[in-house]
Structure 1
Amino acid sequence: MPRTGLLRLSMLASILVPVAASAETTIVVSSWAPPTHTINANVWPAWAGMVEKATGGRVRVKIEYGLAPPPAQFDIILDGAADATWMFHGYNPGRFVATQLVELPGNTAGAEAVSAAYWQVHERYLSAADEHRGVKLIGLTAHGPGHLHTREPVAALDEVEGLKIRVGGGVSSDIAERLGIIGVNVPAPQVYETVASGVADGVLMPMETKQSFRLAEVAPYTLELPGGFYNGSFAFIMNQDTFDSLSPEDQEALMSVSGIELSKLAGRAWEKADKEGVEFAIGEGNTFTLADEAVIAEFRDRTEDIRQTVIERIDGLGIDAGAALADLQALSAQPD
């Protein structure tokens, strides 16, 4: 080969090698809660740092807002309009059934323990339903106990009959029906205006929403139940093609900081946000009423069939729901 040809090849190689070495993938995360919400302010940034470190900087994460409304998050990941998101299962009625297991009320363990247990139980049992088919599941979490936040004081369950209460779907809708509540189905970002305008008399949501969705302003009265009225189920998902496009090394690295690790990270964030929500609401002059034994007993009586209903729904998917629930409770109770 002529000397000039060798020189050109050498120059071309010197250009291409650095480009290949610095090539990286940016995972675009679609998010839908306010930027100040704990998932956006704490969980995604922490996970992004973990992913970048685990992959040696080859994979980075960027959060974008407003790509789709909350109920459409699963579909935009399935369609490839974004690379990753977090989604609330209750926004997709009929689509997710096995995930209702973690939504049942009465689990008094913290959100971190429940979220870690949730991931393990999904891997052992619930994954058989393949309800997240088409996307890559990278984490699961349950928020803290959902309580009743209202415009006017409520201290007994007969006082909630006929009230219009925002519910998120899933088990919370079943609970509302048993309590004689008129369910108002709107995504979380719309709860403030829904309550402020009087379309709803209150909401069933965790304590963190006192601050994150400004409920302290419009729903200053809270009725607390030990273990809550329900728990909310969320998934962290990735577009399957995006995940598959990563090298095997980077896939392994990403999953090493996802799965149970991401689930626990989210659970810790929920717990911290709940505490901060209560502190904020107290500072705003909100009133908290802890349900007495009579209210607790009445709640159990009026909702006791829901557990069996959920178990039967999940059994219908070919899953031993009783064993899965027992494992969820046992794992949640284990010390870290």
Structure 2
Amino acid sequence: MKTLVKSAALAAIFGLGASGVYAQEVTLRFQHFVSPASANPTHFMEPWARKIEAESNGRIKVELYPFMQLGGAASEMYDQIAEGIVDGGWVIPGYEPGRFPETEALELPFMVTKSAEEASRAAWEFSQAHLMDDFADVKVLAIHMHGRGLVYKKGPAISKVEDFEGLKLRGPSRPVTLLLEKLGATPIGMPVPQFPESLALGVVDGGVITYEQAPSLKLDELTDSHTDVAGDMSLYNLYFIWAMNKDSYARLPDDLKAVIDANAGLEASAWAGRAHDTGDAEGREVLRAAGHEAAELSEEATAEIRALGDEVIAEWIAQMDAKGYDGAGLVADARAAVEATRAQ
């Protein structure tokens, strides 16, 4: 009996649990702004958190807080992480227009493929050359893109460019709102959490978003149709980072830092992208089962939109040049990263 008591005391002193593994040493709180049932939380964030816990032998616990449960707005996520309000989280730089302008190179029309995994690999590589200084306030764990961007709306699906005329459409980033404006729509920028209510209240007629977000946003109920472009390049895309507070990381002992590092980088970025590809397949099935009208624009209509997209790109290059960036160089490097990924 004395031996058991002594062993328990030693276990407590040295942080050992009854199973012989190290007891939890740190809890990391990660926050995001979407439903826990949506693709990235389901297929990336949650498994990533459990993998960190398993590989740390339970010494790290990762808590995930959806719907901004720890407070703040989706547009504040980068500063929340940088300032240590949370230990980590999910950031859409495009929710803060003008702050991270180089990220927009990958969000330009028809820039990346419809494969989120491919696009995410390209985003990681492009970012190593152009964006890590911009994100110096945080520890970047993964950089990724979502899957194909679609146009959802109330009423019949879009079948020609003229159908965009006069529609009030939600847009998540500056590049896509510029394209929507070229198409004759009235773009209304808003983070994804505001989209369902805006549809229900008639603030917007529809908007651009992915397949995977459809179920959690109830787009099968709030809209009647969705439209894709022809070909293997996405109408638009969105750039994300999965990041950690630098002090939270620095406080970890070296062996636990190694666990975080082993689950960061190119392959973590690809994993986050695959989560969206998986979610797209699931969301597409939900829409099909609901009888949601699905349409794909003709090659001719898609070519018209691409021509307008080229105008957006040319104007974006000029704007970036005026700010002191090499706009054409950024576009060329983004395209090269995408092509390199497609060649793998």
Q: TM-score, normalising length from structure 2? A: 0.87
Q: Whole-Å Cα distance in 2 between the matches of residues 332 and 105 of structure 1?
A: 18
CA contact (8 A) 1:109 1:333 kept: no
What amino acid sits opposite 2:336 in the alignment?
D
Q: Distance in 2 between matches of 1:267 and 1:114?
A: 7
Match of 2:26 in 1: 25
- Write the mapping of 1:1-336 to structure 2, written as runs, cut at 5 A: 16-18=13-15, 22=23, 24-65=25-66, 66-67=69-70, 68-106=72-110, 107-123=112-128, 125-127=129-131, 130-153=133-156, 154-226=158-230, 227-311=233-317, 316-317=324-325, 320-335=329-344
Q: Is the 8 A contact 2:118 2:273 kept in 1?
A: yes
Which consecutive residues of structure 1, in runs of 5 or more, have no partner in the other structure? 1-10
Counterpart CA distance in 1 for 2:85 and 2:277 is: 31
Q: Describe the shift of the 1:80–1:207 C-alpha distance in structure 2 as closer, same or farther (beyond 3 A).
A: same
Contact 2:114 2:234 in 1 (8 A): no
Residues 312 and 140 of structure 1, relative CA distance in 2, 3 Å threshold:
farther
Give the number of aligned pairs: 324
> Is the deviation greater in 113-122 or in 325-334?
325-334
3-state DSSP of counterpart to 1:138 = strand
Residue matched to 2:3: none
| Alpha-carbon distance, 1:213 to partner | 1.1
Shift of the alpha carbon at 1:274?
0.8
Shift of the alpha carbon at 1:215? Answer: 0.8
Report if the CA contact (8 A) 1:109-1:332 is conserved: no
List structure 1 segments (4+ residues) > 6 angstroms apart after TM superposition.
11-14
TM-score w.r.t. the length of structure 1 is 0.89
Q: Judge conservation of contact 1:30–1:85 (CA < 8 Å) in 2.
A: yes
Question: What is the CA-CA distance between 1:270 and the residue it aligns to?
Answer: 0.3
Task: Tell me the C-alpha RMSD between the 2 structures.
Answer: 2.3
1:97–1:313: 8 Å Cα contact kept in structure 2?
no
Q: CA deviation at 1:322?
A: 4.1
- Do 1:87 and 1:234's aligned partners in 2 also have CA atoms closer than 8 Å? yes
Quick check: 1:146–1:206 contact (8 Å CA) kept in 2? yes
5+ residue gaps, structure 2: 1-7
Aligned-pair identity (%): 27
Displacement of 1:95 in angstroms is 0.8
CA distance in 1, matches of 2:198, 2:12: 58
Taking the aligned partners of 1:314 and 1:253, their CA distance within structure 2 comes to 38
Aligned twin of 2:4: none
| Distance of aligned partners of 1:41 and 1:71 in 2 relative to their CA distance in 1, 3 Å threshold | same
Alpha-carbon distance in structure 1 between the residues aligned to 2:282 and 2:16: 46
Q: Which moved more, 1:309-318 or 1:109-118?
A: 309-318
SS in 1 for 2:28: strand
How far apart are 1:15 and its partner, in Å?
A: 5.4
| AA in 1 matched with 2:125 | Q
Partner of 1:6: none
Specify whether residues 192 and 15 from structure 1 end up closer, same or farther in structure 2 by C-alpha distance, changes over 3 A only. closer
Shift of 1:301: 1.8
Change beyond 3 A, Cα 1:16–1:184: same
* Deviation digits for residues 299-334 of structure 1 (CA, Å, limit 9, x no counterpart): 012221222344455563468414422332223303
